[in-house]
């Protein structure tokens, strides 16, 4: 009897993360960070020819994992405004650095390369659409539909209305589109398919198997289908699926979605802040190293 009571007491003290099998949300983020680091090592040092393509193949899993955690974070946050502002402001700051690199060739690597990592701006657009889904669910249809349409319509509004009106002052729009008003017309991190995939994950949240299956099918159909069409039109070999157009590999992140146990995991605010610091910090550190090593390695 005493042993049974002891077992019950030990079980009751387990945290939610420890009581459930699988990977916590913070565990998924740490995995995504590791895979992203491999991907960016290839991105910044691919010019050496010494970094295996496997690094960037594995890196295809990082963006959808972050996206999955973004959806979970949005669903659980106590303040959607603060959650949105953190990502929007950090994305805008990184966009300003990117725009400075475009305008100032002295900030570019000797071969003209500079970082074009704008995933946080892509996440900003996704959050706008998730907010739209929330409004639709609460029967505020007009506001919801406007937010759902805005990220898709914004580039066309820019090209066909704002750009002609501004004429020679279009550089102002460029700055805005890289910073506080992100536009898919300039963001290279994450396609429209990826953005719509985020909305799909949010709409299907709570049905994990359906959610994972939808992501897998959607990504193979869109990203994979686009590459296959390009191969057909250009006459490239099928091996281009693995050497050039490998975004379709992000479909396999669905397997890790299934491993999520629904718990946030340990680490608290400190680990949460670490995620926001690590993304820009590792990009600029790797970029600085690549700039320093490029003239030495390319002699």
Express each pLDDT in 93-127 by its tens digit.
Answer: 999 999 999 999 999 999 999 999 999 999 999 99
Residue 218: band (very low, low, confident or very high) from pLDDT cuts 50, 70, 90: very high
Asked whether 31 and 222 are in contact (CB, 8 A), the reply is: no
Is the per-residue pLDDT at 195 higher than 50?
yes
Q: How much is the pLDDT for 156?
A: 85
Closest alpha carbon to 265 in 32, 8, 9, 6? 32
Phi-psi region of 191 (alpha: psi -120 to 50; beta: other; left: phi over 0): beta
- Please tell me the distance from the alpha carbon of residue 82 to that of residue 109, in angstroms, as a whole number: 35
| Token pair of 40 as six digits | 């960016």
**Range in 21-35, 184-198, 267-281 with the lowest mean pLDDT:** 267-281
Residue 62: band (very low, low, confident or very high) from pLDDT cuts 50, 70, 90: very high
% of the chain at pLDDT higher than 90 = 77
Residues, the chain: 299
Q: How much is the pLDDT for 270?
A: 79
* Helix, strand or coil, per DSSP, at residue 134: helix
Q: How much is the pLDDT for 170?
A: 73
Q: How much is the pLDDT for 187?
A: 84
Residue 11: band (very low, low, confident or very high) from pLDDT cuts 50, 70, 90: very low
List beta partners, residue 260.
23
- Please tell me the distance from the alpha carbon of residue 101 to that of residue 95, in angstroms, as a whole number: 10
Residue 292: band (very low, low, confident or very high) from pLDDT cuts 50, 70, 90: very high
| Alpha-carbon distance values, 203 to 78, 151, 214 (Å) | 19, 17, 11
Asked whether 188 and 118 are in contact (CB, 8 A), the reply is: yes
Residue 246: band (very low, low, confident or very high) from pLDDT cuts 50, 70, 90: very high
* Helix, strand or coil, per DSSP, at residue 37: helix
**Average pLDDT of the residues in 134-154:** 95
- Please tell me the distance from the alpha carbon of residue 47 to that of residue 191, in angstroms, as a whole number: 24
Q: What is the pLDDT of residues 264-278, one digit of tens each?
A: 888 767 777 898 999
- pTM, entire model: 0.90
Is the per-residue pLDDT at 145 higher than 80?
yes
% of the chain at pLDDT higher than 70 = 93
Residue 1: band (very low, low, confident or very high) from pLDDT cuts 50, 70, 90: very low
**Average pLDDT of the residues in 277-298:** 96
Is the per-residue pLDDT at 14 higher than 90?
no
Instruction: Compute φ and ψ for 134, nearest 5 degrees.
Output: -60, -45
| Token pair of 24 as six digits | 């916590």
Is the per-residue pLDDT at 5 higher than 50?
no
- Tell me the longest C-alpha to C-alpha distance in the chain: 84
Instruction: Compute φ and ψ for 206, nearest 5 degrees.
Output: 105, -15
């Amino acid at each position: 009897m005493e042993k049974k009571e002891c077992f019950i007491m030990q079980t009751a003290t387990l945290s939610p993360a420890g009581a459930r099998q699988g990977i916590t949300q913070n565990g998924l983020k740490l995995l995504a960070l590791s895979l992203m680091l491999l991907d960016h090592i290839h991105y910044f040092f691919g010019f050496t020819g010494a970094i295996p393509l496997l690094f960037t193949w594995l890196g295809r899993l990082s963006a959808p994992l972050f996206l999955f955690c973004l959806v979970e974070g949005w669903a659980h946050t106590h303040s959607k405004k603060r959650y949105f502002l953190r990502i929007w402001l950090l994305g805008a700051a990184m966009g300003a650095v990117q725009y400075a690199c475009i305008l100032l060739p002295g900030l570019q690597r000797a071969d003209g390369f500079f970082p074009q990592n704008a995933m946080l701006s892509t996440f900003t657009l996704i959050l706008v659409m998730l907010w739209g889904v929330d409004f639709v669910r609460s029967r505020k249809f007009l506001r919801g539909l406007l937010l759902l349409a805005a990220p898709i319509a914004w580039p066309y509004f820019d090209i066909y209305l704002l750009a002609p009106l501004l004429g020679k002052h279009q550089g102002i729009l460029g700055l805005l589109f890289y910073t506080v008003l992100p536009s898919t017309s300039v963001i290279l991190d994450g396609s429209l398919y990826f953005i719509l995939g985020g909305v799909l994950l949010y709409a299907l949240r709570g049905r994990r198997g359906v959610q994972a299956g939808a992501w897998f099918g959607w990504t193979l159909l869109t990203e994979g289908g686009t590459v296959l069409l390009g191969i057909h039109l250009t006459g490239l070999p099928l091996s281009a699926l693995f050497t050039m157009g490998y975004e379709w590999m992000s479909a396999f992140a669905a397997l890790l979605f299934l491993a999520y146990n629904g718990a946030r995991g340990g680490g608290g605010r400190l680990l949460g802040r670490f995620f926001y610091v690590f993304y820009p910090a590792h990009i600029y550190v790797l970029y600085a190293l690549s700039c320093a090593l490029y003239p030495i390695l390319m002699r």
